[in-house]
Structure 1
Amino acid sequence: MPRQLSIVGFGREAGAFDAGFLTTVEHDGMQAGERLAEMLICRIHGEEVLCERVRPVLKVRESTGVPALYQTPRTNPGEPVLKAGAAFAVLSTAGRIEASSLRQGVYLYDTRMVSTYQWRISGEVPAPLAMTVTTDVLRARYVFQHAGMTRVIERTWQLYPEGMEDRWAWQHYGAPEPWRLSLAFAADFTDIFELRGSDPRHVGHKTVDQDAYQAQYRYEGRDGIARQVTMASTRAAQNNAAGQWEWMIDGQEVSGEIVLKTTWHNPVPEIATGRKQGADPFPQFSFERELWQHVMSRAGSDMQMLATDYGQGLVPMAGIPWFGTFFGRDAVIASYQMLAWNPSYAYHTLHTLAAWQGHQDDPEREEELGKMVHEVRFGEMARTHDVPFARYYGSVDVTPLFLILLVETWRRTGDDALMNTMKPAAQAALDYLLRAQDRNRLGLLSFTPRSAQGLAVQSWKDSADSMVFADGEHASPPLAVAEVQGYVYRAFRAMADYYHVQGQDDWARDLEKRAKKLQRQFDALFWLPDQLFYGLAVDGNGRLLDAVTSDPGQCLWAGIVPRTKRRAVAQRLLAPDLFSGWGIRTLAAGQSAYDPYSYHRGSVWPHDTSLIAAGLLKAGAAKESETLALALMQAAEHFPWYRLPELFAGEQGVAPVPYPEACAPQAWASAAPFHLMQTLLGLEIDALQHKIHAWANPPQALGPFTIKEIPLSLGVTFTLISDGKRLKAHDVPKPWVFHARTRPSP
């Protein structure tokens, strides 16, 4: 009997081997290369093969995961990244934008504005003698020597929100020698989703006008938006045709410069510009030990780089390049991680979420009244509904996380005006949670996708293959995930605390009762007695996904783990199959689905580990918390620029390796060192009580340090200083009080 194999493809590509046996089926089996290889092997062995033309079932992509059918282009954490406003640039290590790269380019609002920027000097691409990269500037120096001649070129590439300037200045020494600078330039206006594998149904109309001094690219999109890129030179090009520019430099010109200025226009009418609020001062970290200084400096510059205004003040952009927009979950968690050090992220994130809060029932966008937005996109494919993510609500956890951040920001700042402003949004969010919980027969918060094009998994591990049983079987929604129950529990408790302060004790007691009931349900349904740990999720049939994962660590942070089981959970988290030596694996080694290089089945996510470290400390596991926090901080040394990527491989005893498609910088990874430092210092700032708490004896591994300009209120800051043994606070204003507590012995 002939073997029936499939080749992924269309038309002639699929039928080239044997059109007589060609059939058309819908299928999502092995990748095309694997199918083709197997087919060829069968042919070599003389086996008859039936060909199939496969029509893939379109699943647009996983929002923060790898698509089921479309492979996200790989990233390179060593490549320079620049950002200004909402515009960002991903460059090659040579400071170019390669036409063959699917990731490099200049992006603005989900559109690649500049797709090619390939320069050469006398026909070659020289390696820079030195290169420095800051938030929005790349500087490089090139030195050329030939036959008694030396030419030094200083290059400065500056990115602006509305354009970029590339300045080439040279100095010539010795015998005169002519040379040339050439540039290949293009603007393709490709949508970010097309780069990630989704085919647009139609494309707009593009025109190019070019002369010796400038080139102008225009794109009339199907969404009615006119986009434009203009590149202009201060010198006339000797040769310029079809995006190719060339300037001949006379050897007698011993010094000079060429400046290339590029501007772009990509209007986004959805972003209002009404509310503006200044940012808090950014704390200044100064460590004697270089590793900590490098890590904190990089994290600080990346958080400031990612700060983007979507109409309600500066909030963290989720990640460059694939998530260069606003994501509710990412912004809330990153803002929470930064809360002790810079509350303005939280302020702006809360206002941004409130502005986009769900106000109707729309299954295609997963929108419901009171639900918080998951993702907002501004590109052509989102506007024309080729993808459903223009404003998409397919996230089960942003709404409880919003309430947690709101109350924690109130505690941190004492700002009653914030709570008064947010009351309508908070009440709508709470009402949504109560309705959603009551819909579930087990009293849990679960998700069931309502849109065929949306996300199948709607908790933070949102790749399609993340929800597994211990034996490797994949679970299907509806699913109630462990840490989501923790978020709801903490949201209920936080809002109850607020209502008590406001004298609304009936509301507070009702929420406390709900929280206790949810905690009992969680403990009864999720506990794995053979592991002394909690499972991953409960499916629609009440079956427990018994895989050992990192999720219960976040349950410690949320406080839902009963006091009698916290120690057992803490110890299980630091077991070798979960703790890689650098962070907590998303899925324990030895589980059937374990893959340390996967997205959510064994990799390490810095934000996940940072929340777990805080949860361990909260649970009284100070030794485990310190071990974990220091390990993740030290992992940053193994990555370019000391930048923690979105995620990295979770192998044991191996230096951490970034996941191939990881974003870097990425908001909650960049904020992780700040959260880890807060945990290591035991720092808590309570504006309601005007108290600052911290360890009197911080971990000796940190060495001496000074942290200046930690904000307390508008224009008021204080300083922490440690000689490596004792920690003291300086410039603490009245009525604030600093309490130095003895750190539990490791």
Structure 2
Amino acid sequence: MSEATQDDETPSAGTSRGQYSLKSGDTFVVCDAYGDIRGDASGLFHNDTRMLSHFTLDLGGKPPSLLSAAISHDNVLFTANLSNKPLPPMGERATPQGVIHLQRMRFLWDARLYERIACVNYGDSEVQVTLALRFGADFRDIFEVRGTSRKKRGTLHEPKVGETSVALRYDGLDGVTRCSVICLSTLPDRLDGDSAELRLVLPRLSNTELYVEIGPDHAQPSRERFRAAAAKARRAMRRRRGHGARPRSNARLFNAWLERSRADIALLVSEFPTGPYPCAGIPWFATPFGRDGIITAMQLLWLDASLARGVLGYLAEHQAHETSAFRDSAPGKIMHETRKSEMAELGEVPFGRYYGGVDTTPLYVMLAGAYAERTGDEVFIDKLWPALTAAMGWIERTCDKDPHGFLTYAQGEKGGLLNQGWKDSEDSVFHADGTIPPAPIALVEVQGYVYAALIAMARLAERRGDDDASAQWRHRALAMRKAVEELFWDEEMGNYGIARDGNDTLCRVRASNAGHLLYVGLPKLWRARKVIRQFRSAPFDSGWGVRTLAMQQARYNPMSYHDGSVWPHDVAICAAGMAHYGERDDAVRLLGETFEAAVHFGMRLPELFCGFPRATGEPPIAYPVACLPQAWAAGSVFMMLQACLGVTVDGRRGEVRIDRPSLPAGVDRLTLHKLDVGGDSIDLGFERIGSRTVAFRAGGSADVRILAKV
């Protein structure tokens, strides 16, 4: 992914009004703490088009004062509590400040925004006040909102004003008519194409309610419709949150982080015919991304395999079958990104269905292999087999073009991504002197993914009885491992270079990319330990997690997108890699650092934050335009927790393996409730006893074997 925007539950530095978001299906809304939409990155969006770009509320011609704003724990309801500023007289006397309580409650359901505006007068006499709503829709494409200019747009029609509604309409160049209809439950005193006014008479302690709905067609808002739709939205969210095992500890704050992370993933999940799929993040990436969906599914796989199944099915359905330089597609490639917007439909941007991610295809095969081990679901793997062999076909054909057998990339047509690994900003790959290398580029972590994909396919083929194919894939995996060890390791750095360029020159840069090699288990033990020692050191470890780039490297900038910032999902992968090589204490330390960062971010980790060194008494410094919530940031706690507990679930054998578990600091007891193991369910308990952590069966099926190593 590339640049995003700030989205938080409380006002943050540089954003005095805060940013809040809700999502339901293909619809999401971003507003400030007052509930207002004021352009910029805020708005009501549907299918990557901004359906409402302005929506504000005034009392007596003045914006109200903010008392509080919050999103419910289940991520369904946004609530702003407001109060009046001193109001000019409309009767015998002026209304003093702070006597009218105004509450805005909002949610999304079935491509509609529902809002209840409730006013209560706590003054000592009747109050008369004018409530005004101001609104507008620019119907801009998400890429326009992000800053892309267009030579031509469609037709924006004059608003159509009814008694209690205003219809806003835009005819796109793609032949699609897009409508936003603002509907009120009460006949306003004045209504025109961009505002509505209601003159309210509020007796003391009276409660006056106005219901508003904004959707693609006309409706008649009411209390009954509001309550019925809210109940449906909450039931749907409960279903999404109810999947998978649930970790629960004796530590209240740690539990709050776990629950917020589960709720954020549930918020971002969309349901498709192929199953659940986690959209990447709000606001810029509220759509399926291949890489993000795969990594989020990997993070949750040990707890909830249904997400991985949904991701695998969706991406198989959207696999490339033709070659296109514009879309960077080739037969067998797995999708990087899909969009439904006007510009994508017209081909003004290549992201309608875009394949410019070099790592997505091997990651897809990795996930399929991990899913098969976790569940033993051979029937589903058989269904996926044509997609998996096609994916491996693309990987092998591309690797065969490189003299060393590496998987490389180069930008397709202009407008596509220059860099196509997870660090996809234009300056994220460079030489030790800071110069940008020529393409094609072979990223070090991508070769690790290819190695893991080859091992996964070898195991899958062996279980299918195809020993010849299994042997061939194992041979290629060993060759890849040997080539990476010979051509990416730099003895002087004591680390792996970030990439090899089109001149076959190593980019001698110390970056977190090597942590992904640890995750797949490619490095030799002694080299892995050298990398881990560097990750422990101050140039890498900010005190809030591992930086994407070590200090003192060329282009290091703790405020950059990829060159010195901290990404929670990247930290989680590094922690899991350290644990893979037996360094469980490092995983515990990184989980502790990330947890302390989460506390400062209101238990909701952003996509990334700045990589400045931790200072006593100071919080981590926010990256100003990070996605929040963001799927793989929310999933990072679960990957790190698995790394700490050393849990592996083998659904085929019906067993759980636990390797030298360790609980996070401050957590003395933890239980995994309803962990599915090959169709049986168990509860696993972990408890700190002295300096050791012991694991035990806390309930559930006795048929599941638990193999624990202390």
TM-score (norm 1): 0.85
Taking the aligned partners of 1:733 and 1:108, their CA distance within structure 2 comes to 45
Letter in 1 for 2:181: T
Residue 703 to residue 122, structure 1, CA distance change in 2 (3 Å): farther
Letter in 1 for 2:51: M
Displacement of 1:281 in angstroms is: 2.2
Taking the aligned partners of 1:169 and 1:713, their CA distance within structure 2 comes to 50
1:105 touches 1:116 (CA, 8 Å); kept in 2? yes
Pick from 2, 22, 39 the counterpart of residue 82 of structure 1. 22
Taking the aligned partners of 2:202 and 2:629, their CA distance within structure 1 comes to 42
Letter in 2 for 1:389: F
1:519 touches 1:562 (CA, 8 Å); kept in 2? no
Displacement of 1:96 in angstroms is: 1.1
Residue 498 to residue 732, structure 1, CA distance change in 2 (3 Å): farther
- Deviation readout 1:547-601 (Å, 9 max, x if unpaired): 1100111101112212342211211222211111111111110112100110111
Displacement of 1:607 in angstroms is: 0.8
Pick from 431, 443, 450 the counterpart of residue 469 of structure 1. 431
Q: Secondary structure at the match of 1:598?
A: coil
Pick from 658, 680, 689 the counterpart of residue 622 of structure 2. 658
Equivalent residue number for residue 15 of structure 2:
none
1:470 touches 1:593 (CA, 8 Å); kept in 2? no
2:336 touches 2:355 (CA, 8 Å); kept in 1? yes
Equivalent residue number for residue 690 of structure 1:
654
Alignment gaps of 5+ in structure 2: 11-18, 87-94, 219-238
Matched length: 659
Equivalent residue number for residue 269 of structure 1:
none
Equivalent residue number for residue 644 of structure 2:
680
Taking the aligned partners of 2:661 and 2:499, their CA distance within structure 1 comes to 39
Residue 479 to residue 697, structure 1, CA distance change in 2 (3 Å): closer
Taking the aligned partners of 2:595 and 2:708, their CA distance within structure 1 comes to 24
Taking the aligned partners of 1:283 and 1:584, their CA distance within structure 2 comes to 28
Taking the aligned partners of 1:265 and 1:176, their CA distance within structure 2 comes to 37
Pick from 18, 27, 31 the counterpart of residue 91 of structure 1. 31
Taking the aligned partners of 1:147 and 1:106, their CA distance within structure 2 comes to 34
Equivalent residue number for residue 270 of structure 1:
none
- Deviation readout 1:285-304 (Å, 9 max, x if unpaired): 33332321121111000000
Equivalent residue number for residue 606 of structure 2:
645
Equivalent residue number for residue 695 of structure 2:
727
Q: Which moved more, 1:663-672 or 1:493-502?
A: 493-502
Pick from 629, 652, 665 the counterpart of residue 591 of structure 2. 629
Displacement of 1:147 in angstroms is: 5.8
1:104 aligns with 2:42: yes
Q: Which moved more, 1:563-572 or 1:207-216?
A: 563-572
Q: Secondary structure at the match of 1:326?
A: coil
Letter in 1 for 2:26: A
Displacement of 1:691 in angstroms is: 1.1
Residue 127 to residue 704, structure 1, CA distance change in 2 (3 Å): farther
Displacement of 1:74 in angstroms is: 5.6
2:246 touches 2:303 (CA, 8 Å); kept in 1? no
Taking the aligned partners of 2:171 and 2:502, their CA distance within structure 1 comes to 47
Letter in 1 for 2:697: A
- Deviation readout 1:174-213 (Å, 9 max, x if unpaired): 3112112111111221100001111123211122101341
Equivalent residue number for residue 619 of structure 1:
581
1:250 aligns with 2:211: no
Displacement of 1:697 in angstroms is: 5.1
Taking the aligned partners of 1:265 and 1:521, their CA distance within structure 2 comes to 60
2:186 touches 2:210 (CA, 8 Å); kept in 1? yes
2:449 touches 2:520 (CA, 8 Å); kept in 1? yes
1:480 touches 1:538 (CA, 8 Å); kept in 2? yes
Displacement of 1:695 in angstroms is: 5.2
- How well do the aligned residues superpose, as a CA RMSD in angstroms? 2.1
1:232 aligns with 2:170: no
1:718 aligns with 2:656: no
Q: Secondary structure at the match of 2:214?
A: strand
2:442 touches 2:499 (CA, 8 Å); kept in 1? yes
Taking the aligned partners of 2:703 and 2:66, their CA distance within structure 1 comes to 55
- Deviation readout 1:689-743 (Å, 9 max, x if unpaired): 21112357532612223332333355x432233444333222342431122321x
Equivalent residue number for residue 45 of structure 1:
none
1:176 aligns with 2:126: yes
2:544 touches 2:620 (CA, 8 Å); kept in 1? yes
Taking the aligned partners of 2:663 and 2:33, their CA distance within structure 1 comes to 37
Residue 148 to residue 518, structure 1, CA distance change in 2 (3 Å): closer
Pick from 116, 119, 122 the counterpart of residue 167 of structure 1. 116
Taking the aligned partners of 1:609 and 1:74, their CA distance within structure 2 comes to 20
Q: Secondary structure at the match of 1:158?
A: strand
1:406 aligns with 2:368: yes
Taking the aligned partners of 1:590 and 1:687, their CA distance within structure 2 comes to 46
Equivalent residue number for residue 671 of structure 2:
706
1:65 aligns with 2:13: no
Equivalent residue number for residue 114 of structure 1:
52
1:149 touches 1:175 (CA, 8 Å); kept in 2? no
- Deviation readout 1:650-688 (Å, 9 max, x if unpaired): 111243222222101111111111111111111111112
1:262 aligns with 2:209: no
Equivalent residue number for residue 431 of structure 1:
393
2:248 touches 2:671 (CA, 8 Å); kept in 1? yes
Alignment gaps of 5+ in structure 1: 1-63, 67-71, 267-277
1:557 touches 1:615 (CA, 8 Å); kept in 2? yes
Displacement of 1:239 in angstroms is: 1.9
Equivalent residue number for residue 201 of structure 1:
151
Taking only the aligned residue pairs, the percentage that are identical comes to 31
Taking the aligned partners of 1:422 and 1:448, their CA distance within structure 2 comes to 28
